[in-house]
């Protein structure tokens, strides 16, 4: 399922951006550069929002495919792994943004 693969790649890209911005947020906050930290936090939250949108679309796509036929085990294993990583990364990024 090429569309699911592309969505997973898009999610990973958005989360990587969110992580980078969140790390910069923490760094600026530690240096008491609050205006800059605030912008980085905002940028990280935007990237998280984008990842969430694509994740929601991917979930719906997997559900729709599953109504038509049984997806291959390999595809579902990859999706389950990607979904688990998404949940873990989002939790970590949110934790950084709450510092």
Task: Name the token pair of 82.
Answer: 């990607």
Q: Give percent above pLDDT 90 in the chain.
A: 80
Q: How far is CA 58 from CA 12, 35, 76, in A?
A: 12, 35, 12
Contacts of 91 by beta carbon, 8 Å cutoff, 6+ apart? none
Where does the pLDDT of residue 3 fall: very low under 50, low under 70, confident under 90, or very high at 90 and above?
confident
Q: What is the pTM of this model?
A: 0.90
Q: Of 14-18, 62-66, 86-90, 94-98, give the lowest mean pLDDT range.
A: 62-66
Query: Which residues does 28 contact at the CB level (< 8 Å), separation at least 6?
Result: 34, 36, 37, 40
Q: What is the pLDDT of residue 1?
A: 63
Residue range 54-67, pLDDT digits in tens = 999 999 999 998 89
């Amino acid at each position: 399922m090429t569309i699911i693969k592309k969505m997973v790649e898009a999610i990973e890209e958005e989360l990587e951006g969110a992580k980078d911005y969140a790390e910069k947020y923490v760094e600026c906050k530690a240096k008491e550069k609050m205006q800059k930290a605030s912008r980085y936090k905002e940028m990280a939250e935007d990237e998280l929002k984008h990842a969430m949108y694509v994740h929601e679309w991917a979930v719906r796509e997997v559900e729709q495919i599953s109504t038509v036929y049984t997806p291959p085990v390999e595809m579902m294993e990859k999706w389950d792994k990607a979904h688990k990583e998404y949940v873990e990364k989002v939790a970590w990024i949110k934790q950084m943004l709450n510092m």
